[in-house]
Structure 1
Amino acid sequence: MRIVILTVIRFAPVGALLLIGLVAAGCGKKPAAAGPSEMQTVCEGQPLRTVERREQAQQDGYDIDRRFDCITKESWAANQQYRDRAASTRNMESVQPVDIVLVDVNTATQEEIAVVITVSRETAAQIIVERGIRRFKDWPDLTSRIKAFRDPQAAVAASTCGLTVDGKSLEGVPPNGLMAARLRETYRDYNRR
């Protein structure tokens, strides 16, 4: 028994060194190099290359892909959407309310109806034609007979901007000068396309 213990003690350092060598060899392996096409799939822009650029990118809210040392496409897109929304909000904060003039579909002229911010000339003409057949009795009648107002958002926008039926706004949607100003900006941008 004494010989076995001495043999184990004598060879233990060799075994430990062998085990450490095997672990170190496995840990030192580098992952397979990724090709340029994979980098283009993952990265937005060029590698960051410096600690300062990496830290700045992280402070700006970007995720860094460690394999390529670059900003990920996903975080770039998310940041861009956030910046666009923030810019839009800033633009909307500077909008001044408009004075709302109530325009009744049963009594106004085609030109007066077309002045309502979200109502097109074609819709105003259709209102005049339909009104000639019979008066609009309420908002459901207007939305069922005028194609543009079948979209609930269009009816809400028109009521917000001052369109009425027999002097009444769409239920729950009173005229609102600030919202009308924002809609004017939205429709102006839409019509420029």
Structure 2
Amino acid sequence: MFKKILAATALLFAVASSFAAVDVNKGTAAELDGIKGVGPAMSKRILDARKEGEFKDWSDFMQRVKGVKEKKAAKLSTDGLTVNGQAFGGAPAAAPAKAAKAPAKQ
């Protein structure tokens, strides 16, 4: 009985760790390679860009890493990649529009 419990626990741990998120600012080359869609070439581009400084957000990441646009960013995020712990949320929210001034009274 103990062996079955131990085996089940090990299996759950293995499954949970396979879905663990990897942050682009903290992940090693091996951890980045573990994300589906990130191969050795992309992980090298990520690490090279990271040498200039940490990525601030997904927009910064997409600007600095060649080959990553919105569609690719969304796919990588779905597969477990994060930037500062945040999943990709699509295009940045537009700045709120300023309220139109009321017409001047005559």
TM-score (norm 1): 0.37
Over aligned residues, Cα RMSD in angstroms? Answer: 1.8
User: Is 1:145 the counterpart of 2:64 in the alignment?
Assistant: yes
Give the drift of 1:118: 1.2
Taking the aligned partners of 2:40 and 2:71, their CA distance within structure 1 comes to 18
Percent of residue pairs bearing the same amino acid type: 34
Taking the aligned partners of 1:163 and 1:119, their CA distance within structure 2 comes to 10
Tell me which stretches of 4 or more aligned residues in structure 1 moved more than 4 Å. none
Structure with greater proportional helix content: 1
Partner of 2:50: 131
TM-score (norm 2): 0.65
Letter in 2 for 1:130: A
Taking the aligned partners of 2:56 and 2:79, their CA distance within structure 1 comes to 20
User: Is 1:116 the counterpart of 2:35 in the alignment?
Assistant: yes
Instruction: Flag structure 1 segments of 5+ consecutive residues without an equivalent.
Output: 1-97, 173-193
Partner of 2:88: 170
Per-residue CA deviation, residues 76-104 of structure 1 (Å, 9 max, x unaligned), is xxxxxxxxxxxxxxxxxxxxxx9421000
Per-residue CA deviation, residues 136-162 of structure 1 (Å, 9 max, x unaligned), is 000000011111212x22111100000
Partner of 1:161: 79
Letter in 2 for 1:118: G
Tell me the secondary structure at the aligned position of residue 47 of structure 2. Answer: helix
Partner of 2:23: 104
Per chain length, whose mean CA-contact separation is higher, i.e. which structure has more relative contact order (CA < 8 Å, sep 6+)? 2
